[in-house]
Amino acid sequence: MYILEKQGRFVIPRTELTYPCHTMRMHENAAATNADLVMADFEDACPYEFKGEPSRKVMVEALNTVDFGEKVVTVRPNNIRSPFFLGDLEAVMLGAPDRFHGVILPKVYGPDDIRYVSRLLDALEKQGGWTTRVQLEVLIETPQALLHAYEIATASDRMVGLIFGIADFAATLGVGEFGGDQTNFLYAKQAVVVAAKAAGLHAIDCVYPDIVRRDTPPEEAERIREGLRRKNQIAASVGMDGAWVIHPSQVDVVNEVFTPSDQEIEKAKEALEAYYRLGGGSMINPVTNEFEDEASAKIKLMVLAKGVQAGKVSGEYLTAMAEKSRAITGYDILQLFRRLA
């Protein structure tokens, strides 16, 4: 989770909107969306002719002038083996201190990559006069990275999340298609989830490549939206906390998928309150006639944690419910998996 020190809150993103960094209009459009996180991209989305100084100049200006509201603001530099990487990182760290929250690293192979970047950030924060600490989120988009995902996740205390990068991962496997519901990548997705959660980080699913445009026929637009919804419902079912989006039109659909409904929240509250009122243990809830035990109570705590992120549940209520669980089990699942600051 991202710790926003100056706002006094934390964010587990449901939507991470990625966009090219080389035009100011893209930054302004991203700021106007409902995305939880925006990620301006020096890497794949930036045309070669704009790499280097042209894109860096726009990026630094945007970070210093665009009002991103309460969004998590992040930057994706070119990968660390690129001749552009160091210049990208120096430009934003020295040109926009305390104006963004995180760096998203592409093409990571193993934990040494993370340790190198973390040390580099140590030096650049000092040089740039930062008063906050830059956090790291990492793309898992190669077989090497997938096999080392937990080591990557635990390589630095700057780490907050892992992202499954499907396009490059598909390329390394020789898979030409990665649209649809992406069930042919379920092993890789759940491996990312397991590594992230074992390290107390959030897990973010990959992009859905089809986009609704202004001239998309209504029937085709509906098919695309339903495909986006289905793909992310499956991702949520294996433990992803959110997903990358590549166009503002995708944001609201994906936010909805990763947000508990009002009905789900009320059901979780009623079940938890009845469970602890009746003393816990294994039981049949006399109101719902459903089986409850401490494991099912933890599932409902996690539902409410997502509700807190969406502004539907108070943090105080969640903390009180978690304390009841901790008193019985000896540990707090929300703290263990960093669902509370």
Which whole number is the average pLDDT over 165-188? Answer: 87
Least confident among 48-62, 235-249, 278-292, 310-324 = 278-292
Output Rg (C-alpha) for the chain, integer angstroms. 21
Q: For the chain, which domains are there?
A: 2-257 (3.20.20.60), 262-336 (no CATH)
Which whole number is the average pLDDT over 206-230? Answer: 92
Average pLDDT, whole number, for the chain? 91
Backbone angles phi, psi at 12, to 5 degrees: -105, 105
**Most confident stretch, 117-126, 254-263, 304-313:** 117-126
Backbone angles phi, psi at 73, to 5 degrees: -110, 125
Least confident among 150-159, 249-258, 284-293 = 284-293
**Res 341 pLDDT > 70:** no
Q: With CA atoms as reference, report the closest residue to 227 among 192, 182, 187.
A: 182
Place of tokens 């499907």: 166
59 contact partners, CB below 8 Å, separation of at least 6 = 21, 22, 40, 42, 75, 91, 92, 96
* Half-sphere exposure at residue 287, Cβ-oriented, CA atoms within 13 angstroms: 12
pLDDT-above-90 percentage for the chain: 68
Q: With CA atoms as reference, report the closest residue to 64 among 79, 75, 77, 49.
A: 75
Residue 338 neighbours by CB distance under 10 Å: 18
Look at residue 306 in the predicted model and tell me its pLDDT: 87
Look at residue 202 in the predicted model and tell me its pLDDT: 95
**Res 161 pLDDT > 60:** yes
Backbone angles phi, psi at 278, to 5 degrees: -90, 5
**Res 236 pLDDT > 70:** yes
Q: How far apart are CA 54 and CA 39, in angstroms?
A: 18
Chain centroid to Cα 254, Å, comes to 12
Residue 90 neighbours by CB distance under 10 Å: 17
Q: How far apart are CA 234 and CA 182, in angstroms?
A: 9
Output DSSP code: residue 77. P
Instruction: Indicate the pLDDT class of residue 255, thresholds 50, 70 and 90.
Output: very high
Instruction: Indicate the pLDDT class of residue 3, thresholds 50, 70 and 90.
Output: confident
| pLDDT digit string, tens, across residues 56-111 | 999 999 999 999 999 999 999 999 999 999 999 999 999 999 999 999 999 999 99
Least confident among 58-62, 109-113, 136-140, 298-302 = 298-302
Least confident among 24-33, 207-216, 332-341 = 332-341
| 113 within 8 A of 156, measured Cβ to Cβ | no
| pLDDT digit string, tens, across residues 12-68 | 999 999 999 999 999 999 999 999 999 999 998 888 899 999 999 999 999 999 999
Q: How far apart are CA 330 and CA 20, in angstroms?
A: 47
Which two tokens mark 230?
């289905």
Residue 132 neighbours by CB distance under 10 Å: 15
Which of residues 335 and 193 earns the better pLDDT score? Answer: 193
Place of tokens 């991702």: 235
Look at residue 309 in the predicted model and tell me its pLDDT: 81
**Res 183 pLDDT > 70:** yes
Does the pTM surpass 0.85? The reply is yes
Instruction: Indicate the pLDDT class of residue 340, thresholds 50, 70 and 90.
Output: low
CA–CA distances in Å: residue 333 to residues 261, 290, 312? 22, 22, 20
Which two tokens mark 129?
């006069």
Which whole number is the average pLDDT over 333-338? Answer: 71
Q: Beta strand pairing status for 37-41 and 72-76? A: parallel
- 234: helix, strand or coil: helix
Phi-psi region of 41 (alpha: psi -120 to 50; beta: other; left: phi over 0): beta
